[in-house]
Amino acid sequence: MAKDFSTREDNYAQWYNDLVLKAGLAENSAVRGCMVIKPYGYSIWEKMQGALDTMFKDSGHVNAYFPLFIPKSFFSKEASHVEGFAKECAVVTHYRLKNAPDGSGIVVDEDAKLEEELIIRPTSETIIWDTYRNWIQSYRDLPILVNQWANVVRWEMRTRLFLRTAEFLWQEGHTAHATEKEAIDEAMMILDIYADFAEKWMALPVLKGKKSPNERFAGAVDTYCIEALMQDGKALQVGTSHFLGQNFAKAFDVKFLSRKNELEYVWATSWGVSTRLMGALIMAHSDDHGLVIPPRLAPIQVVIVPIYKKTEELAAISQRALAIKESLTKRGISVRYDDRDTFKPGWKFTEYEFKGVPVRMAIGPRDMENNTVEVARRDTLEKEIYSITDIENKIGHLLEQIQNNLFQKALSFRESNTFVVNTWDEFVAQLDGEGGFILAHWDGTPETEQAIKEETRATIRTIPFDAPAEKGKCVYSGKSSAHRVVFARAY
């Protein structure tokens, strides 16, 4: 099949990397740890943005934009927040360059040193809560339901395209509320939106739950998350929603007068998903033939390839193809008609397969005679001859079917890779074998979680909301536990 392309079994990490590069999604840039997102990759991200943005707005949120730079002093106001991010911050110290006196090039002008260094945002809680102080005086100013689409920078040690880059794109929601309950409800509602998006758009089944204290966001009271399982048996955190309590309100002195005329601190949430979703999408569905993109996120949902020997044939085929394209477009399906004569049909087949286009149509002389098209679906690689009557509805249904099939496939993969484990030996054996989600008892202490992590590299991915009550003994300490949690090795 595709040349120069690793298989999953062969080398999973290499397979992923090849896929991203060769399908034209992204590539490494001249800047360490930062990627160039190429047009095809970016168009998938735009689809994700579009769907999420609509969901946020439908639930009452509005978009705004805050600065890329944050004064250093803001960072130290929330103690655990600074501790969590200090080690990975890019810092701006000067604002001017000059020619080197010895003519060796451009150097930093030491006279242009900033009074106070600026941090390039790793996340925007601090600058936003500093701003909210001015926006909030009364309970009537609440809630504030703001989202921002932005880039952030975290100086990561080791980067991987989409999964972990020094600069990444994301959205971060920052809301302010009058009561604790309202803030928790908000954080939970957003988690539902994320889960809905993952399952309905990305065809990616996710577990919803709470993070253990060790895995909690720096500065949060509680972190809720959605967690997915990748094909190599490793977990990927795809989205988080944090209940921040009054931590940031206290740090930035954001108070409001309640109905009872009492001065109270504001309750907060923050939540985000990033271009890491691209990594999740790629790893969840793709195969050894290349990318597989769920129809609802595919920039091109249907590609039509003409097959002809002589140019005279092409005119008639094109007429047919363009008519089909128009009827599909009217039904809201995005179609590309690829009549380039510079590539052969076989080449195009492989190319679109590699790029994960959900449906491919071929129209040749036989089809012209029989009023048919050959339809190939990317998810199963099956081919079928369709009559062109009512083609737009048939293709519409097929796209829905593919979307559902991808979700079901991912779901059954997750189910068959979720294991109930009761002893430490089983626990270790499972991790060293096929991996997957491991349901095990945990005594609830950070010490045990830390010890397990050090010995096995596995972490508690989530404490599922729907975990049934079940008395048991911690796999590590043997102490009692009320329910199972989800362990896995993670990206």
Partner RNA sequence: CGGGAUGUAGCGCAGCCCGGUUAGCGCGCCACGUUCGGGACGUGGAGGCCGUGAGUUCAAAUCUCACCAUCCCGACCA
Smallest distance from RNA to CB 256, Å: 29
Per CB under 7 A, does 139 bind RNA? no
Per CB under 7 A, does 362 bind RNA? yes
Q: Using CB under 7 A, which residues numbered 202 to 221 contact RNA?
A: 217
Smallest distance from RNA to CB 306, Å: 9
Smallest distance from RNA to CB 193, Å: 16
Q: Using CB under 7 A, which residues numbered 280 to 339 contact RNA?
A: 289, 307-310
Per CB under 7 A, does 28 bind RNA? yes
Rounded CA separation 231/226 (Å) = 17
Binding residue (CB under 7 A) for RNA from 4, 58, 262, 466: 4
Q: Which of 362/475 has CB closer to RNA?
A: 362
Per CB under 7 A, does 366 bind RNA? yes
Closest CA to 224 of 291, 276, 272: 272
Smallest distance from RNA to CB 123, Å: 8
Per CB under 7 A, does 106 bind RNA? no
Q: Which of 123/131 has CB closer to RNA?
A: 123
Per CB under 7 A, does 248 bind RNA? no
Binding residue (CB under 7 A) for RNA from 120, 142, 146, 163: 163
Binding residue (CB under 7 A) for RNA from 19, 33, 41, 194: 33
How many chain residues bind RNA (CB under 7 A)? 66
Contact 122, 152 (CB under 8 A): yes
Q: Using CB under 7 A, which residues numbered 391 to 430 contact RNA?
A: none
Per CB under 7 A, does 264 bind RNA? no
Contact 230, 284 (CB under 8 A): yes
Binding site for RNA (CB under 7 A): 1-5, 13-14, 17, 28, 32-33, 84, 87-88, 154, 156-161, 163-166, 168, 170, 217, 237, 240, 272, 274-276, 289, 307-310, 341, 344-347, 349-351, 353-354, 360, 362-368, 373-374, 376, 381, 383, 453, 457, 490-491
